[in-house]
Structure 1
C-alpha cells in the first residue's frame, strides 16, 4: 500500500503559516500520543526556528501512560515545553496557560524592559489532520469557537482566537507534507486516521495493524474479541468477522466490515491504551 494525501488546500495553508510566522511568539504543536514522532510534520521545525515551542501529547488517554511519560521526557530533553492532554475530556488543559507564560518568559521580560506591558502572547496552533487541534482550542477557550470533526481536513482557513488578556491563538488547517520519504510514517498516520480512509485499503491496513499489535501487545486481540489469535493477521481478521457476525448479504464473512470495526476499536481506545512508537526506537 502506498500512502500519499496532500489536497490543494494544504499548499495554501503552508504558505499562510509562513506568512504569519513573524507575528508569532510561540508554536503550539499537537501530536498524537500513540505515534508522537510520525505525527509531527517535519516542516514545522524549519518554520519554527527562533520561536518558543510547546508540544502537546494529545489523545494521551488512548496511549500507554508509561510511554506518555517517556515521550514527555524525550521532548523536554530536546528543549520543548511538553504537556500531556486529552482535548476531548479537558484533562491537562488547565495547566496550558501557565506553561505558555513560562515558555514565553524571555519574550514577556523583553517586552517589559521596553515598556510594553500586557501585550498578549501570540501562539500558532499547528498539527497534522485529525490530531485534535479544533477540539483542543474549543476546550482551552471553553466554547465552540472553531469547527470540529472526526475526519481530517475540517479546518481550511486561518482563525484568530482571543483566549484571554494574556493569550491569542492562531488556528491553522492540519497539514501533511507533500511526500512521505518513509512509507512507514504514512502507514502509522493511516492507522490513527490522519489520511482519508476512502483512499486506503482498510483490510490491508487492519491486517498490518493486527500484525504490529501482536508483536508489541501479545494476546490483545485474543482477549478483546475472545478468539483464538492466529499468527496470520488475515486469519485473525476472519475470526473477528466470525465472532462479530460481519456478514455480506449472501451470508459470507465480510472482512472489509470486520476491518472497519477493528480500526474503529483501535482509534476509539476500545482495545485499551496502546502506543505504536517508543522513544527507544528513535534514540
Structure 2
C-alpha cells in the first residue's frame, strides 16, 4: 500500500488565514464525517481555537445506523465535547445548530454590554476536512445556496464571511488537513470516504482496504448479498480479482470504482467505518 498524502497549496494559505481569523470568532463548529468521526478530526483544531466554545457536528448521519447515534453522543460527552448529528443534504439537525449559535451570541453580547460595548452579531466558523459537508451545511443554515457544494474534496478554496441573519455571521473556510497524515489507517478511511483529493491515492488499493475493513467490522454478509461472492478467507485484493473475473470484465479499476462509489453513495447500506470505543 502506497503512502497517502495530500496537501494542495490552497489549503496552506487557507489554514494561515483561518488562524488569523480565530481571534475574531465567538464559536467554532467542527464538522466531522459521521462514518469516521475520529479519522476526520483535525488533530490541531483544539490548539487553534484557544479554548473558545466548540460544537462538534457529525454530518452525514443518514449514512450510519441510528443505533450508533446515542453511543457517539455519549463518547464525545465523556471527552468533554458537545456533539450534534446533522444531515446537511436533507436539512436534519440544522435548527439546533442555529439555536446553539444564537445562545453563544447572547453570552458574547451580555459580556459586551457589561463592558459598556454595543451588541453585535455572533461570529461563527465552520471547520473540517475537505468534503465532509461544510458548504452544504452552511447553505442549509442560510436557507439558500451561497457556498459551493460538491461531492469531491477541495471545492471551497478561500475564506468568505456569510451573514446568516441579523444575529449570526458565519465564516466559510476551505477544508483543512494536516500537512502530513501520520496515521495511515485514518488516511485510508479518509480516502474511502472521499474526504481527501483523489490524486492522493490508488483506487484499487483503497477499494481493497475497504473490503478488508468491512470484514474487520463484520459486514461480510453485506458484501455477499450485494455482490454474490463470499469474502471470508480472502484478502480485499483477491475479492476484487474474483469480482472482475465473475462480473466486471472491464478490469480491476472498474471494479474498484464500483465498490468505492457503492459505499460512498450509501448503496451498500448504512455502514460506519469507526465505532465508539472506550
* TM more than 0.5: yes
What displacement does 1:235 show?
A: 3.0
Higher mean C-alpha displacement, 100-109 vs 74-83: 100-109
CA distance in 2, matches of 1:279, 1:103: 28
What displacement does 1:68 show?
A: 2.8
What displacement does 1:116 show?
A: 4.3
Please tell me whether residue 21 in structure 1 is matched to residue 22 in structure 2.
yes
What displacement does 1:199 show?
A: 3.4
| Residues matched between the structures, number | 275
CA distance in 2, matches of 1:64, 1:215: 17
Match of 1:86 in 2: 87
Higher mean C-alpha displacement, 227-236 vs 129-138: 227-236
CA distance in 2, matches of 1:220, 1:35: 19
Are residues 229 and 182 of structure 1, via their aligned partners in 2, closer, same or farther at CA, if it must alter by over 3 Å?
closer
What displacement does 1:91 show?
A: 1.0
Q: How far does the alpha carbon of each residue in 1:186-242 deviate from its partner, in whole angstroms, 9 at most, with x for none?
A: 111111112222332111111111011012123110012233334222332234335
Q: Secondary structure of 1:219's match?
A: helix
What displacement does 1:74 show?
A: 1.8
What displacement does 1:118 show?
A: 4.2
CA distance in 1, matches of 2:259, 2:138: 29
Higher mean C-alpha displacement, 96-105 vs 173-182: 96-105
Match of 2:222 in 1: 220
Match of 2:269 in 1: 272
CA distance in 2, matches of 1:200, 1:21: 32
Are residues 165 and 115 of structure 1, via their aligned partners in 2, closer, same or farther at CA, if it must alter by over 3 Å?
farther
Could you tell me whether the CA contact under 8 Å between 1:81 and 1:99 is conserved in 2?
A: no
Please report the TM-score for the alignment, with normalisation by the length of structure 1.
0.91
Could you tell me whether the CA contact under 8 Å between 1:52 and 1:104 is conserved in 2?
A: no
Moved over 4 A (4+): 115-118
CA distance in 2, matches of 1:213, 1:267: 13
Please report the TM-score for the alignment, with normalisation by the length of structure 2.
0.93
Are residues 117 and 80 of structure 1, via their aligned partners in 2, closer, same or farther at CA, if it must alter by over 3 Å?
farther
Could you tell me whether the CA contact under 8 Å between 1:122 and 1:170 is conserved in 2?
A: yes
Are residues 212 and 261 of structure 1, via their aligned partners in 2, closer, same or farther at CA, if it must alter by over 3 Å?
same
Matches within 5 A, 1:1-283: 1-103=2-104, 106-116=107-117, 118-216=119-217, 217-232=219-234, 233-242=236-245, 245-248=247-250, 254-280=251-277, 283=278
CA distance in 2, matches of 1:59, 1:39: 12
Could you tell me whether the CA contact under 8 Å between 1:54 and 1:103 is conserved in 2?
A: no
Gaps of 5+ in 2: none
Gaps of 5+ in 1: 249-253
Calculate the aligned-residue CA RMSD, in Å.
1.7
CA distance in 2, matches of 1:229, 1:182: 26
Q: Secondary structure of 2:220's match?
A: coil
